[in-house]
Amino acid sequence: FRVDYGERRAGDPGTLIASSKKIHAKLGWTPVHSTVQEVIRDAWNWHQLHPKGY
């Protein structure tokens, strides 16, 4: 997929930080994927298997 880099748009946050520590501490939930690369790979594979979206 193509990635375009540019100036921040109005309303875009300056920084994004994500952590699953809080939900793990409260509910014991652990994410299946630990890297962005894994998430993208899994999403791509799913879309290849479900081209109509289901």
The runs of H, that is alpha helices, within 6-53 are 21-27, 36-49
Say how many Å lie between the first and final Cα of the chain, rounded: 21
| pLDDT at residue 25, as a whole number | 97
| Spatial distance between the Cα atoms of 24 and 27, rounded to a whole number of angstroms | 5
Domain boundaries of the chain, sorted by first residue: 16-54
| pLDDT at residue 45, as a whole number | 96
Mean pLDDT, the chain, as a whole number? Answer: 92
Q: Are 29 and 23 in contact (CB under 8 A)?
A: yes
Residue 34 banded pLDDT, cuts 50, 70, 90: confident
Q: What is the pLDDT of residues 10-23, one digit of tens each?
A: 999 989 888 899 99
